[in-house]
Structure 1
């Protein structure tokens, strides 16, 4: 086994057979941290965004924070209830994409897919960037290096997911549950101290917050409504990741739909409880947060804050105040929050590859996205998602507040089309269903989806109005780009399928076969190629030699005659010392002279046993094959000749119990272990 294979096995683990796919399915206790970590982790930044938006009107506007939190919780409840209907109706894992495609058509399905793909990439970028910010607040040495920290975290997360969904879920379960216990424990402790009148103030409570010009006491009612709408749209970041469970139903153990629906319910209860607790505590403890680019609006006793002031996140400030006398508690909260923000991206690493595989199956994405890797994960989708997320992290400096403006639009587009599709789904089935009990369930489900559509439509309008010029237009452009790309890929696959469809003309035999054997010198590979070509009994057979040196050509002709070879030798003169072009032009001339015939080109090739030998041989043959592939009516056949090094390698590896694939032997990549008799029988 080569170094590359050893490294791959260390990183990814042993290969899994396709029949072992059932072993990778998840129990609810593992599925919750795998699919719900994104929505749960939004507790770490959704409250911050609400306070940052309200800060434009000064600290007095924070009185609206808990009402906005309740509005977000109501929308989340409606969305979760709607998706519980979806996982029962469409358990195949297509989620919003399948619902929209089946009920609204391919265009709506492609729109949903483009929105989800963008949202998954942003989920990774936002979560990892926010985690990097938490890491920097806990470890001052990481300040100013958030981009590097975030990029490394994406790569580590990618490597973990390449090992397979079950292994990554087991690894992520402990920190996810630790986060839930830590935040709920902190909230319970804080609310207890609030009830007893012993709730401390956070560090930012001593600062003075200056309203943004145009806001504050002089703000009109219309401006206040717009500000509250902006804060609400930012707080709706808490809903991102809810749809991931509907896309991941196939990963659950049986009964899949019921387990997925139960996980959705648990997600909603936990996320809403944590979010509202953080918002209430932040308000009662005097939290003051502003946009990181507007720190000059914070002052202390009328004096500007010192240069390099680091504004900590809401959870960090709350934990610092509550555990002032118990520092391990503070570090526990900050650590598990930073970890969960990194792991929250795992939701996207599970959803994006599955959606990519479904799109590949339907012809809207490259078919490589539908291939499972050694560990039965969709490896190509995982790698592509990681690359796109790192690009965003670098472009936006790993700043969550800048990235959050691009967020939400895509997920609410998919929410709306999914709910509309579910309404049409129930309406269609009600036309044929006669069982009264089933009809009542369908009516109830349709009402739930109608309420979900109404609420998500309102949120989408608010998000588009309040965030369009703040960066949402970039998301819309990205969605449009994905949409056009997917439609183009689908159109290409359709055209190829039409072009490759078999018809009666494909049964017609060619009128003649003109075979040519390429000759570089008269040696064993050439003689083997001539013999093989002759055995195929073509209508015409000739050797072809490209002459770039008169003396070498004369020696070859003399040797040809001396050996009394009964095959004619055609000499192509090349005054500019080109080897490939004369052969291609000659083959095309033969094809042009007999359009219904074929030209068969036989190319002698050396089979080598070491990778570096491949660099020294067969380069002209590779270039020639590359050119002839584009020549219609020209067939290319490689005639291999094994050099001694290939035999030595084969003998050595056979002694060591390694099976050598022919293609690997030719390329000098002798790595794959010989299957034993038991494996062959399987």
Structure 2
């Protein structure tokens, strides 16, 4: 796992994550093995004439292209246009599906998520700083609405007199925020392609610390959505108590709306969330200015808080618990370092500037609110948030209270957008390293990681329902996972500076060491102090997730070993018997009506996603049939098509290859269209589609594979004279 290249896709250039990440290039040793395999193919087929195909695979016929009438429901692809020589490009849909239900579903999908974006649009789906700031800081800045309150709620157990400890604790938290912020500012230029805790810890500390950091981050992101939505709903019910009974349904609806907004793409989602974040910042700054002006009028004399009975003594353990509870205000501080590739160039510089703005705003809002809570003599209450109480005291009349509550509720509900931005990207990095299912590499219609977004939404909704939307029940689960990731990331950067001793490395190492020490102390404190309050769930969940990631990686490693190209032994082979291709003027037989072998006219088509043992075995099987054979490769964009053709030439170009560029990343639809067009050009042909298939023994391994051969077989079943056969490669474990 190489953190320095974590955010870029080979062949795509720069640090942009592109759809080609689903198609990793062959390693140099595999290319060498592929060349040797091709040499043996050449030796085995030296006496066999190449043979002309019975149909033009480019579909450029004098009579024009037949328009397929089926498969519109499979993918938003109508037909093709000619790209480079021997290449077709799947075009944007011209018509909606033929059925009424299909048209309704397609129109609804486009209304909700927008039309599909071409693969090339990924270059423009990036954010400038003023958009990235609200998108990536909504979680961090919104946490000031519940972080100080969580700290005061613990101190209140020792009575009203212990609330004065909030000021030195807040000062310590400000120091922690600045230290961690500076540490992450150093991480960004060191890992300009995206450096989440998973990448940094795995690159510098090893696979297990990286997986532990990933587990902590995943729990953090899921809880971010659940806590933010629960806190947002609580802000709504503080202003409208009659909605208190609808907490869970409103929270689930908010998660669904967040999912829909993010499925529309990074740029659209960013535009949606810009205004609420800036409105919240403006509202809180207004509250701070007016609140401090009122405090100046009374000489900064704090209002005595209402008397509260002592439940627990003011012990050191209580103070540490309060400190760790207040530290949840830092959740989301790592978001920028995860999302460096989402910025406009120069990516790392814009990301570092945005992180600096975020930390400065966090310190200002957190410190200001904590001090105002102290000066106003406010204490946590179950029926109203402290921010709501402060707004009510500061603005007893007029519309300002309602505006502040509306802005707070909106930012808390939308704060989960940070998790929606980073959780799918984390799964992408993990899937590319083989620690998560490969389906998380896939970009959806709007160039968003749709599978990761849906997974996050479902997990957060389950947590919200289980805990019935109670923020105070979720907070104890919160700090352990995020500070585990913080600590491992900062420790990883210490190891990074020790290994890469560039200019000023000692100063950078010291800063990251301070960050690792402080976050480690918070981690230990939170884990010990909140263990019985629910933190045990995270302590147990992290090792279980690490074991799951390790098992997934083991399966993919075994799969790679089974499918990797190896130099074959040199053995003498006899040239296979040659069955000549039929003349182009052959008489067409009725579809599926052949009864004699001489009536059958074959064209063997082999879809090839990547060159490995499975695909070469399918090609060898097809060639052994002695029939005209055509290979088809579906590429998501031009660089991937060029790279695959280069690999094909390395192998030896033994079979005619047709490349189809599918810029909307659909695979089954374009392939089905293409096969139908071939059949329409020669209706007497029997198309034999040979699909390589990986067969696994364990049922739980099946979700780790796309099962494309089954979907292709289902798609081609209505088409006559098409035979789909699988060439299995069995995994034994």
TM normalised by structure 1 equals: 0.70
Whether the 8 Å contact between 1:119 and 1:407 is mirrored in structure 2 is yes
Give the whole-Å Cα distance in 1 for the aligned partners of 2:358 and 2:305: 36
Q: Any stretches of 5+ residues in structure 1 without a counterpart?
A: 293-310, 434-438, 514-522, 539-596, 601-606, 609-624, 633-660, 669-682
**Distance change in 2, residues 1:15/1:511 (3 Å):** same
The correspondence for 1:470, drawn from 526, 529, 533, is: 533
Q: 1:318 aligns with which of 371, 384, 390?
A: 390
Corresponding position: 1:429 with 2:520: no
**In the alignment, does 2:118 pair up with 1:118?**
no
Task: Give the match for residue 81 of structure 2.
Answer: none
Per-residue CA deviations over 1:497-524 (Å, capped at 9, x if unaligned) read 11223442799989999xxxxxxxxx96
Deviation at 1:314, TM superposition (A): 0.6
Instruction: Identify if the C-alpha distance between structure 1 residues 47 and 508 changes in structure 2 by more than 3 Å, giving closer, same or farther.
Output: farther
Distance 2:460 2:276 in 1: 22
Q: Distance in 2 between matches of 1:529 and 1:61?
A: 93
CA contact (8 A) 1:94 1:355 kept: no
Higher helix share: 1
Residue 62 to residue 525, structure 1, CA distance change in 2 (3 Å): same
Alignment of 1:45 with 2:146, yes or no, is yes
* CA offsets 1:617-661 (integer angstroms, 9 cap, x no match): xxxxxxxx99x99799xxxxxxxxxxxxxxxxxxxxxxxxxxxx9
Q: Tell me, what secondary structure is at the counterpart of 2:500?
A: helix
**How much is the aligned-residue C-alpha RMSD, in angstroms?**
3.2
Structure 1 equivalent of residue 547 of structure 2: 484
Distance change (3 Å), C-alpha of 1:55 and 1:629: closer
Name the structure 2 match of 1:288.
Answer: 379
CA distance in 2, matches of 1:69, 1:152: 34
From 124, 129, 134, the counterpart of 1:23: 124
Aligned mates of 2:150, 2:452 — CA distance in 1: 30
| Structure 2 CA distance for partners of 1:629 and 1:343, relative to 1, 3 Å | closer
Distance 1:457 1:379 in 2: 34
Alignment of 1:591-610 (within 5 A): none
Partners of 2:277 and 2:603 in 1: how far apart? Answer: 69
- How far residue 667 of structure 1 moved from its aligned partner, in angstroms, is 5.9
Alignment match of 1:227 (pick from 318, 322, 328): 318
Post-superposition shift, 1:94?
A: 3.4
Asked whether the 8 Å contact 1:125–1:390 carries over to 2, the reply is yes
The answer as to 2:598 corresponding to 1:527 is: no
Q: Which residue of 1 aligns with 2:189?
A: 88
SS at match of 2:523: helix
- Residue 481 of structure 1 and its aligned partner are, at CA, apart by 2.2
Q: Give 1:382-531 correspondences, 5 Å limit.
A: 382-430=453-501, 433=502, 439=503, 441-503=504-566, 504=568, 527-528=593-594, 531=597
Name the stretch that deviates more: 1-10 or 314-323: 1-10
2:621: which partner in 1?
none
User: Counterparts of 1:336 and 1:525 in 2: how far apart (Å)?
Assistant: 66
- May I ask how many residue pairs the two structures share in their alignment? 511
User: 1:443: Cα distance to partner?
Assistant: 2.2
Q: Does 1:192 align with 2:273?
A: no
Structure-2 separation of matches of 1:76 and 1:33:
18
Are 2:239 and 1:138 aligned? yes
**Distance in 2 of aligned mates of 1:68 and 1:387:** 36
C-alpha distance in 2, partners of 1:482/1:53?
A: 30
What do the CA deviations read for 1:390-431 (whole angstroms, capped 9, x no partner)?
00000000111100110011111111111111111111111x
Distance (Å, rounded) in 2 between the aligned partners of 1:537 and 1:346? 50
Q: How does 1:246-285 map to 2 (within 5 A)?
A: 246-285=337-376
String of CA shifts for 1:478-500, please: whole Å, max 9, x gaps.
Answer: 22222111111110011111122
SS at match of 2:378: coil
2:226 paired with 1:101: no
Separation (CA, whole Å) in 2 of partners of 1:510 and 1:482: 52
Q: Hey, what's the Cα distance between the residues in 1 that align with 2:595 and 2:479?
A: 63
Return the structure number with greater relative CO, CA threshold 8 A, min gap 6: 2
Equivalent position to 1:209, from 301, 308, 320: 308
- 1:323-338 equivalences under 5 Å are 323-326=395-398, 328-338=399-409
- Deviations along 1:92-112, whole A, 9 cap, x unmatched? 113211111111111111111
| Structure 1 segment 576-587 matched on structure 2, within 5 A | none
1:201 and 1:423, CA in 2 relative to 1: closer, same or farther beyond 3 A?
closer
Deviations 1:142-190 (A, max 9, x none): 2111111110000000000000111111111111001001001101110
Alpha-carbon distance between aligned partners in 2 of 1:631 and 1:343, rounded to the nearest angstrom: 41
Q: Find the aligned partners of 2:715 and 2:286 in 1 and give their Cα distance.
A: 57
The aligned residue for residue 726 of structure 2 is none
What's 2:21 paired with? none
The alpha-carbon distance between structure 1 residues 318 and 537, as it changes in their structure 2 partners (threshold 3 A), is closer
- Which protein shows a greater Rg? 1
Residue 251 of structure 2: aligned partner? 150
SS in 1 for 2:530: helix
CA shift at 1:140, angstroms?
2.7
Q: Which stretches of structure 1, 4 residues or longer, exceed 6 Å deviation after superposition?
A: 198-202, 505-513, 628-632
Residue in structure 2 matched with residue 6 of structure 1 by the alignment: 107
Q: Provide the C-alpha distance between the structure 2 equivalents of 1:631 and 1:38, rounded to a whole number of angstroms.
A: 41
Alpha-carbon distance between aligned partners in 1 of 2:517 and 2:603, rounded to the nearest angstrom? 74
CA distance in 2, matches of 1:630, 1:73: 55
SS in 1 for 2:444: coil
- What displacement does 1:137 show? 1.5
TM-score, length-normalised on structure 2? 0.65
Deviations 1:322-381 (A, max 9, x none): 11022x100011000010001110000000011111111111111111111111111110
| Contact map agreement 2:186 2:508 (CA 8 A) in 1 | yes
* 1:288–1:423 distance in 2 versus 1, CA, 3 Å: same
| Deviation of the 1:666 alpha carbon | 5.0
Deviations 1:261-293 (A, max 9, x none): 111111111111111111111112121225x5x
Deviation string 1:447-505 (CA, Å, 9 cap, x unpaired) is: 21111111111111111111111111101222222211111111001111112234427
Which SS does the other structure have where 1:407 is aligned?
A: helix
On the 8 A contact 1:86/1:95 being kept in 2, the answer is: no
Go from structure 1 to structure 2 and tell me whether the alpha carbon gap of 1:466 and 1:507 turns closer, same or farther (over 3 Å shift): farther
